[in-house]
Structure 1
Amino acid sequence: MEMSWDAGWKRWVYRAVALGFGGVFVYSGVLKALDPGRFLISVRSFQMLPDPYAAWMALGLPWLEILAGLAVVTGVMRRGGLLVLNAALVGFAVALGVAWSRGLDVECGCFGGGGETAIVDALLRDAVLLVAGVWLWIFVRRK
């Protein structure tokens, strides 16, 4: 059966978006995993989790991002990876909103910590990623 140009084009767009979306999380997860102490400072800046829970998050979240990102990139358990990453984006947006409403000066920690990112910038970046993640979820559900 021959594939139409339109169907082939959509498949390539889907693959490119999946590669970019998953790749962002693999990259950010690796940066966090390489310096969990720096990421722990970022987690603590939100003042939402006491120790040892903040430390557990700083140690576990990077590996969850890496594995879920690889699932999206490779297509192995892609739905699960998308579910985890989209939920993480929503959770992080809520955490940013709470920090913002409390007037906290937080370190985003999105790419390993250490860099200052305005909360609005982090929310906008997460919104773009969430749009991509939801689009991938809808597209993968149609298969």
Structure 2
Amino acid sequence: MAYIWISAGVAKLNDHMAVTQTIAAYEIFTPQWADYLARLIGPLEIAGGVLLLLGIFLRGSSKVAAVVLVLFMIGIAQAWARGLAIDCGCFNVDVNLDEQAMDYLKTILRDVGYLALTIWTIKRPFKKFALYP
């Protein structure tokens, strides 16, 4: 999961405008909030991934990751239910996709798999390399 979070965060660092447009496409946030979130989300994903990678605050960072994954799934599900044709903006940010490019069910199922891995990290017995439970 550390790799997933770090790679998702790195993909968002270099193209602030596209990330802002992707967040705005969900039609949940105002343009100002979309801009604010676009500035925060990449570095926060990288920070969370580094914490997971190093085993620092493993349970706490995994709990935060689980909440974020659930929020991402809710956002994708509401966009799907409302018929929005968007790119989720998860690992590559491309605001110029056609309607067939986004497979909402596949994306949600992928996130359910990530959530299962995250829950496993929260519940599993800790090994000697986890610095803090």
TM-score (norm 1): 0.79
Q: CA RMSD, aligned part only?
A: 1.7
Question: Paired residue for 1:97?
Answer: 77
> Does the alignment pair 1:30 with 2:10?
yes
Structure 1, unmatched stretches of 5+, are 1-20
Question: Paired residue for 1:85?
Answer: 65
Higher relative contact order (CA 8 A, sep 6+): 2
Higher relative helix content:
1
Moved over 4 A (4+): 140-143
Distance 2:103 2:40 in 1: 25
Identity %: 25
Aligned length: 123
C-alpha distance after superposition, 1:10-59 (max 9, x if no partner): xxxxxxxxxxx111110110110121211111111101000210111111
TM-score (norm 2): 0.85
Structure 2, unmatched stretches of 5+, are 128-132
Cα displacement (A) at 1:133: 0.4
SS in 2 for 1:108: coil
SS in 2 for 1:58: helix
**Larger radius of gyration, structure 1 or 2?**
1
Matched AA of 2:123: I
SS in 2 for 1:52: helix
